[in-house]
Amino acid sequence: MTLTDTRSSSDTPPAAAGSLSPTALERAIGTGEHEAIGRTFIMGSLLLMALSAGALAAGALRSLSNGGPLDVTDNLWNSALVGMVLMGAIPLLLGLAICLVPLQVGSKAIAFPRAAALSLWTWLVSAVIFAISLGLDGGVGGADLEASRLGMLSMGSMMVALSLGAVCVATTVLSHRPVGMSLARVPLFSWSMLVAAPIWILTFGSTTAHVFLGQISQANAAGLALRYEAGVAWFLRAPSVYMLAIPILGISCDLVAQGCGRRIARYGTVQALIAMFGVFSFGAWTQTSGGRENILWIAFVALAAVPVLGLLGLIADTLRHRKPVVSPGLVGVLLAFLLLLGGMLAGILEALNTTGSGTLFSFEAVGLGWAQSLFLLSAAFIGGLAALSAWSRVVLRASAPGAIASAAIAAGLIGGGLLATVFLIQGLTGFGLSLSFYNVWVAVAAAVLALSALLGLMLALVTSRGHARQPATAGAAGLTLEWAQDELSPEDQALVMRTIVASPYPLLDFRFTGEAVEEDK
C-alpha cells in the first residue's frame, strides 16, 4: 500500500513542453486520475462483457450443433459466466465507483491512486489472458491442462485486482470525506460501495485461496475442473452472487432522489437496509459440503429479500411524493431492481424447495440456482448501464444520447431477463435441458446481452468524444457533490467544497440557501 502514497497525477503540474512530455499512451497507462481509471474500467468491462456473453451464445450453439442438452458443466459455459461476472458486471460497477465515489464524497482523488491504476491494468491483462486461455480449450474446467492452469491463474489475478480496486474505493469513503459528512451522510452509492467492498474482498480472498491451491497441486485438467467446482463456483451462486447487486441498491436510491429532486426519506433506514443486504450476501461459508442444504442457507436467502423489499417501499414512497423526471438511467435502474426482485423470488423458491424437499415442493434446485445467478448478474449489468447513462455528464463529461442508452438498457433487460427466465421455468417445471429449444433460447438471449454490452460501449465512446453534448435536463439537477463540477460555477464549487456538509444532499442544501451564498460573494 505504501508505494501508492504519492500525489496523483491530477495534482502534479504539467510537464514542460518538449521531448520529455509524455505521449498519449504513456499518459493513459501512467495516469493516477480516478476518472481516467474509472472510464477505462468501464469501457474495458463493456467490451469484455460482450465477448463473454458472445462465448455463452457460442456454447449454447455448440450444444445445439452436437444435438446434446444444454451443458451447464461445459467449460465454455462456466468460463463465460465467470467472464460476465469478473470481466463484465463487477468491473463495470467498480469503474463507476472509482470515477464517482471520490466526487460524491468531495475528494479530488481516490485513495491510493497508483493502487487503483495497478488494479485496472492487472485486471485488464488478466482478462485478456483468461480470454486467450479459453481459446486454447482452457478457461475454467477446460480439457487442456496448461491452458486450464493459465485460465485459473488469470481468474485469480482478476479477483485480486478487483479486490485492490475495492480497497481504494472503500478507503476513499472512509478517509476522504469533507467536514460534516459523517458516515450517516455519505451518498447512497458510496455507502453501498462501502458495504460491497469488504464483501467482495472477503469473497475473492477465499476463492483466490482455492486458485492458489489449484496451482500448487499436481492436479490434471479434470482435477482443476473439480477444484473450480468445489472451491470457486460457489461465488456465482446464492447467497454470494447477491454481492453483485449491493451497489445497485445505492444507485437506485441516488437516481430516484435525483429524478424526483427530493430527499430519500428515512435515510438511516435505507443505509441499514443496504448494510443488511450486504451481510446476507456473504456466502463464503456455503463452500463446505452441504453448505446449501441447511437452515442457515435458507435463512440467508429468504432474509436477503427483506431489505430489497424495504428499499422498494422507500423508493416507491419517494416516487409517490413527487413525479420524477423520466430518463433512461432512472427507468433502467428501476428495471434492474425488477430483475433483482426476480433473483430474490428464485431464491425464495429454492429455499422453500430445500425446506420441503420431497414433501411440499419438487422444484429443480439447479435451475432455480442458475436463475438466481443470472437474474442478479443481469440486474448488476443493467444497473451499471443505467448509472453510466444517468451520471454520464460526470463520468463521461457529456450527456449520453438517450436513444443509445435506451437501446442498451432495453437489450440488456431482454437478454438478461430471457437468460434468467429460461432457468426459472426449468426450475419450476422440471423440464430437462435436453430440449433443443433451450439451446436456441439461451443462444438468442446471450447474443442480445452481448449486443447490449456493445451498445453500452458505443454509448461510452460516443459520449466521451463529446458528439452528444446536450444541455442538462431541466428539473434533474444533482443533489450530491459529484454534480458540483458540472452544475456550479468555479466560485460556487469552491464555496461548496469549503462548506460544512449538513445533510446527505449538500447541493440541495446549497440551492436552498442561495441568499447566504450571495452574501459570501
Partner 1 sequence: MSDTATLSPPEVDSPPESPQAAVAPTPALPPTMPRRRELIFGTVFVTAGVAMGLLTLIGSYLAARDAAGAAWLADNQLALTQPNMQMLTLAMSVVTMQWAVWSICRDDRYHTYLALGVTMLLGIAFVNQSTFLFKEAGIAITQPEGPLFYAVTLGHLAMVIAGLVFLLLMAFRTLGGQYSSRQPDGIGAAAVFWYAGVALYAVIWFAVYIQK
DSSP letter (8 states) at residue 357: B
* Region binding partner 1 by CB under 8 A among candidate stretches 108-116, 358-366, 382-390, 422-430: 108-116
**Shortest gap between Cβ of 197 and partner 1 (angstroms)?**
7
| Cα gap 155→10, rounded to integer Å | 31
Cell numbers linked to 30 = 501512467
Query: Which residue in 198, 341, 348, 421 binds partner 1 (CB under 8 A)?
Result: 198
| Cα gap 284→188, rounded to integer Å | 26
Would you give the binding string for partner 1 spanning residues 455-494, x where CB under 8 A is met? Answer: ----------------------------------------
**Shortest gap between Cβ of 395 and partner 1 (angstroms)?**
19
Q: What are phi and psi of 281, to 5 degrees?
A: -95, 0
Would you give the binding string for partner 1 spanning residues 213-232, x where CB under 8 A is met? Answer: x--xxx------------x-
List of residues 6+ apart from 496 with CB closer than 8 A = 481, 484, 488, 506, 507, 510
CB neighbour class for 275 (10 Å; exposed up to 12, middle 13-18, buried from 19): middle
**Shortest gap between Cβ of 286 and partner 1 (angstroms)?**
12
CB nearer partner 1, residue 197 or residue 248: 197
**Shortest gap between Cβ of 201 and partner 1 (angstroms)?**
4
**Shortest gap between Cβ of 464 and partner 1 (angstroms)?**
24
Would you give the binding string for partner 1 spanning residues 337-366, x where CB under 8 A is met? Answer: ------------------------------
Task: Tell me the chain's radius of gyration from C-alpha atoms.
Answer: 23
Q: What are phi and psi of 73, to 5 degrees?
A: -100, 0
CB nearer partner 1, residue 45 or residue 163: 163
Contact (Cβ atoms closer than 8 angstroms) between residue 79 and residue 54 = no
Cell numbers linked to 84 = 460476465
**Shortest gap between Cβ of 142 and partner 1 (angstroms)?**
21
CB nearer partner 1, residue 10 or residue 421: 10
Q: Looking at the DSSP assignment, which residues form a beta bridge with residue 361?
A: 357
**Shortest gap between Cβ of 64 and partner 1 (angstroms)?**
38
* Region binding partner 1 by CB under 8 A among candidate stretches 85-93, 126-134, 445-453, 506-514: 506-514
Query: Which residue in 44, 88, 113, 343 binds partner 1 (CB under 8 A)?
Result: 113
Query: Which residue in 87, 94, 101, 111 binds partner 1 (CB under 8 A)?
Result: 111
CB nearer partner 1, residue 85 or residue 340: 85
Contact between 512 and partner 1 per CB under 8 A: yes
| Cα gap 381→127, rounded to integer Å | 17
CB nearer partner 1, residue 137 or residue 509: 509
Region 371-410 residues binding partner 1, contact defined as CB under 8 A: none
Region 229-248 residues binding partner 1, contact defined as CB under 8 A: 231
Query: Which residue in 40, 45, 75, 107 binds partner 1 (CB under 8 A)?
Result: 107
> How many residues touch partner 1 (CB under 8 A)?
72
| Cα gap 102→8, rounded to integer Å | 13
CB nearer partner 1, residue 281 or residue 287: 287
Cell numbers linked to 21 = 512530455
* Region binding partner 1 by CB under 8 A among candidate stretches 205-213, 269-277, 338-346, 410-418: 205-213
| Cα gap 32→26, rounded to integer Å | 12
* Region binding partner 1 by CB under 8 A among candidate stretches 93-101, 351-359, 403-411, 512-520: 512-520
Query: Which residue in 60, 99, 110, 468 binds partner 1 (CB under 8 A)?
Result: 110
List of residues 6+ apart from 122 with CB closer than 8 A = 157, 158, 160, 161, 164
**Shortest gap between Cβ of 174 and partner 1 (angstroms)?**
5
Query: Which residue in 104, 192, 208, 353 binds partner 1 (CB under 8 A)?
Result: 208
Region 34-63 residues binding partner 1, contact defined as CB under 8 A: none
Cell numbers linked to 326 = 423520466
Region 265-294 residues binding partner 1, contact defined as CB under 8 A: 284, 287-288
Query: Which residue in 15, 29, 143, 209 binds partner 1 (CB under 8 A)?
Result: 209
* Region binding partner 1 by CB under 8 A among candidate stretches 22-30, 137-145, 253-261, 508-516: 508-516
Helix 365-390 with 328-355: angle, nearest 10 deg: 160
CA nearest 244: which of 110, 337, 381, 139? Answer: 381
**Shortest gap between Cβ of 200 and partner 1 (angstroms)?**
9
Residue type, 395: V
CB neighbour class for 71 (10 Å; exposed up to 12, middle 13-18, buried from 19): middle
Region 5-34 residues binding partner 1, contact defined as CB under 8 A: 5-8, 10-11, 32
Cis-peptide into 239, omega within 30 deg? yes
CB nearer partner 1, residue 133 or residue 206: 206
Would you give the binding string for partner 1 spanning residues 163-182, x where CB under 8 A is met? Answer: x--xxx-xx--xxxxxxxxx
CA nearest 419: which of 365, 343, 508, 314? Answer: 343
| Cα gap 501→505, rounded to integer Å | 8
Q: What are phi and psi of 232, to 5 degrees?
A: -120, -35
List of residues 6+ apart from 462 with CB closer than 8 A = 401, 404, 468
**Shortest gap between Cβ of 432 and partner 1 (angstroms)?**
33
DSSP letter (8 states) at residue 276: H
